[in-house]
Structure 1
Amino acid sequence: MPLSEYEQRVLEQMERQLTSDDPRLANTLTQRGRRPFGRYVIAGVGAALGLLLLVLGAAGGRAWLGVVGFVVMFAAVAFAFADPHRGRRSGPQGVVQEDGAVRQPRPARPAKPAKHGFMSRLEDRWERRRGESGR
């Protein structure tokens, strides 16, 4: 069932609001990242090996082998979908003080974004209605 014109306009407004409020999140959601093909091959082999261990454990009456097979399958799928750059940190690793000790840098606090846009107008209207009703 196709969306009506009104629903399409509201969806476009929400998309523009998301892009203006959190451009990093919007970029992440719209980005079509390519993962290395080798990760999928390794994960496929691991999942097949885990399935084989699971079946052999169930057929042979060895529950521990089935559990190991399930863990191997789960680890293979997690490896396939994990971010390969997750462990790498960029930027300063610490601050060297005068006495030579290294201290972790404090994360900068982001400034509160100014309220504007579709969602903030809805929130303002809601607050005005609550104030008019006396609650």
Structure 2
Amino acid sequence: MPLSEHEQRMLEQMERALYAEDPKFATALEGSGLRTYTRRRVYQAVAGFLVGIALLMAGMVAKQVWLSVVGFLVMLGCAVLAVTGWRKAPRPGEQPAGGPHARHQGRQRRSMMDRIEQRWQRRRDEQQGH
């Protein structure tokens, strides 16, 4: 369920206040969700890789070629997921791709905080003008 306009304004004000009060902390929070997600994805891929090894070994012991092939494919898929997840994970203190300091992206792909700041400035200008 999307937020109402009033709730969105309140959230924007709280985020802006957080940036004004402690910009280092707010910047650190921006990438933490992505970091946690990618770290969890890498851990799941490693666990899947171990399951793949178990399937491969079980197939060899039971002399079931299809089980060994499935185990190998699971290992391969999980290895690809782990490597891609590891490469995409932002380093601690680093801005994720598309963050406010990304220079290679156009105005349409600004970060959420840039858009919020722009809206906040627009509202302040409107209030001062009236």
Q: TM-score range by the shorter chain?
A: 0.3 to 0.5
TM-score (norm 2): 0.37
* Higher helix proportion: 2
Higher relative contact order (CA 8 A, sep 6+): 2
Instruction: Using structure 1 for the length normalisation, give the TM-score.
Output: 0.36
